[in-house]
Structure 1
Amino acid sequence: MAELPDLTVFAQILERRYKGKTLATLEISVAKKINVPAKELRTALEGRELLHVKRVGKTLQLYFSGNQILGLHLMLRGELSAIENDEPSRFQIIGFHFEGGEGFAVIDMQKQATPTLNPNPVAVPDALEITEKEFLKLLSGKRTLIKTLLMDQKSITGIGNSYSDEILYHSGISPFSIAKAIPEQHARELYKSISKVLHTAIEKIDKENGNELKGELRDFMKIHGASIKKGPKGEEILSEKIGGRKTYYTKGQELFE
């Protein structure tokens, strides 16, 4: 699943490549996940200029002229792909054809990627925008596991399974720690780790992708991945499931209960 760093870079690429272009044709191949009829979506967006693209939580939001916004949630397997010819991309959900011939598509073999016209504003703080004070307050009131809390999109948006493991490893905190049991100084370090890990990932993905939509990148992960057997310090990487999601960690990460 595309997480915050991937989506941040995708938004930057889409803006660099398509900002200022007018959407000539919106090609809808799978309409079941759209929140409005396909005809209404075409009417709202075709002929509009793309003004801005940004990441909001785990979604991309495309801002068009006429105060129209299209949210895109790629879900578990969704991807973005440049349109190379007039034929729909394989597994296409929706295709954006701009004047001048350029375009891109949302593809998803599971057909779960979700376009939403004019999505509701997100009231939950973003992982890269939440203040330290807000973060400490969030932890202090939760008896849930810290990994579960980091992934809870109703508490803090943007972090998923992969990066929650990387953030907790960076901070030296066990994913099985109870959020409110984490001492304040360790919670402050965790807050710093969120920014450090996510910004480092954004830089690496941006450098690798350049101006191309290459999909998710994970080859720089330190502990999250079935093929990674040892951590950077040579420590054994263990795995268990938390909330049905595979979690990677080491014995050296401190447990707070």
Structure 2
Amino acid sequence: MPELPEVESLREFLDAHLTGQEIARVLPLNISVLKTYDPPLSAVEGATVTAVQRHGKWLDVTAGGLHLAIHLARAGWLRWSDEFPAAPPRPGKGPLALRTVLVSGAGFDLTEAGTTKRLAVHLVRDVAQVPGIARLGPDPLAEDFDRDAFAALLAGERRQIKGALRDQGLIAGIGNAYSDEILHAAKMSPFKPVQNLDEEEVTTLYEALRSTLGEALERSRGVAAGRLKSEKKSGLRVHGRAGQPCPVCGDTIREVSFSDSSLQYCATCQTGGKPLADRRMSRLLK
């Protein structure tokens, strides 16, 4: 799933390629992708793109006073093309979900792999009309998101750190991968309760959050859209690397599996050498 660094890189790319350009047509090719019907997609045809913004993991293309809000979800992606065929694509069962074509002939496709369709596109007059954007917490790379602001968000939390970091209503833009990376950098267990953090640990976690996301953003910046996925994977230290050696201490990276996701961590770096309980693996071993 693309998270804050990758979505910000896509935003910068689209801002450079879309702003000032006129939209010729927007073609939904999968019925599940479009989450709104008023105004219709045809309302942005003939409009000029004036801005491309990011809200957490959402892209926001502004044209004709309307906002085309895009959430790529777990398996979605954006593919740019300098030129599309004249004939429109045929709706089908493939990964192509929506095509946006400029008057110049260039544009982008939204694609989604797999059978679980979660990619979402909203066309609205105000981005606050999109529930997923309206509920977002602060951006963790914003200039005013300092250590005290972070501490204030955590005050009163009664859950594990991993879940808190991934909650878009608490902090916008962090998903499964970068929450693993932040916790590894902070040398903290993903299962540690937020209320057990002392002042020094809050500072450590904040610094790990800012440095991890900042470094990932710098790696992503300027990378072509088609290579962002591989660039993200190449920079990850623990996420998606179960069974491999930890780049810090050399211990084997471990995994905890859930019904629809998993987390990775280093026991030596993060949990004092103690493996975390993996209920799914425990059932398999019985």
* TM-score (structure 2 length as normaliser): 0.81
- What is the aligned partner in structure 2 of residue 241 from structure 1? 257
1:244 is displaced (CA, Å) by 4.9
In structure 2, the residue corresponding to 1:52 is in which secondary structure?
strand
- What is the aligned partner in structure 2 of residue 63 from structure 1? 62
- What is the aligned partner in structure 2 of residue 115 from structure 1? 121
- What is the aligned partner in structure 1 of residue 216 from structure 2? 201
Q: How many residues align?
A: 251
Q: CA offsets, 1:171-202, max 9 Å, x none?
A: 11111111111111111111111111111111
What letter matches 2:73 in structure 1? M
- What is the aligned partner in structure 2 of residue 35 from structure 1? 35
Q: How many angstroms apart in 2 are the aligned matches of 1:73 and 1:19?
A: 19
Contact kept in structure 2, 1:71 and 1:117, CA below 8 Å: yes
1:173 aligns with 2:177: no
Contact kept in structure 1, 2:162 and 2:190, CA below 8 Å: yes
Q: How many angstroms apart in 1 are the aligned matches of 2:24 and 2:256?
A: 48
Contact kept in structure 2, 1:148 and 1:243, CA below 8 Å: no
Q: How many angstroms apart in 1 are the aligned matches of 2:161 and 2:149?
A: 15
Q: CA offsets, 1:21-44, max 9 Å, x none?
A: 00011112123342323x843232
In structure 1, the residue corresponding to 2:227 is in which secondary structure?
coil
Q: How many angstroms apart in 2 are the aligned matches of 1:227 and 1:241?
A: 11
What letter matches 1:25 in structure 2? R
In structure 1, the residue corresponding to 2:137 is in which secondary structure?
coil
In structure 2, the residue corresponding to 1:163 is in which secondary structure?
helix
Give the 3 Å change call, closer, same or farther, for CA 104–244 of structure 1 in structure 2.
closer
Q: How many angstroms apart in 2 are the aligned matches of 1:22 and 1:248?
A: 44
1:73 aligns with 2:71: yes
In structure 2, the residue corresponding to 1:218 is in which secondary structure?
helix
Q: Match for 2:153 among 134, 138, 144?
A: 138
1:239 is displaced (CA, Å) by 1.2
Contact kept in structure 2, 1:13 and 1:213, CA below 8 Å: no
Give the 3 Å change call, closer, same or farther, for CA 184–245 of structure 1 in structure 2.
farther
Contact kept in structure 2, 1:148 and 1:242, CA below 8 Å: no
Contact kept in structure 1, 2:220 and 2:228, CA below 8 Å: no
Contact kept in structure 1, 2:242 and 2:253, CA below 8 Å: no
Give the root-mean-square deviation of aligned CA atoms. Answer: 2.1
Contact kept in structure 2, 1:79 and 1:215, CA below 8 Å: no
Q: CA offsets, 1:148-173, max 9 Å, x none?
A: 10001121111000000000111111
Contact kept in structure 1, 2:60 and 2:67, CA below 8 Å: yes
What letter matches 1:61 in structure 2? D
- What is the aligned partner in structure 2 of residue 4 from structure 1? 4
In structure 1, the residue corresponding to 2:251 is in which secondary structure?
coil
Q: Which runs of 5+ in 2 are unaligned?
A: 273-286
- What is the aligned partner in structure 1 of residue 48 from structure 2? 49
Q: Which runs of 5+ in 1 are unaligned?
A: none
Give the 3 Å change call, closer, same or farther, for CA 11–213 of structure 1 in structure 2.
farther
- Higher normalized contact order (CA 8 Å, seq sep 6+, divided by chain length): 1
1:253 aligns with 2:259: no
1:53 is displaced (CA, Å) by 1.1
- What is the aligned partner in structure 1 of residue 89 from structure 2? 88
Q: How many angstroms apart in 1 are the aligned matches of 2:207 and 2:259?
A: 25
1:228 is displaced (CA, Å) by 5.8
Q: How many angstroms apart in 2 are the aligned matches of 1:27 and 1:187?
A: 46
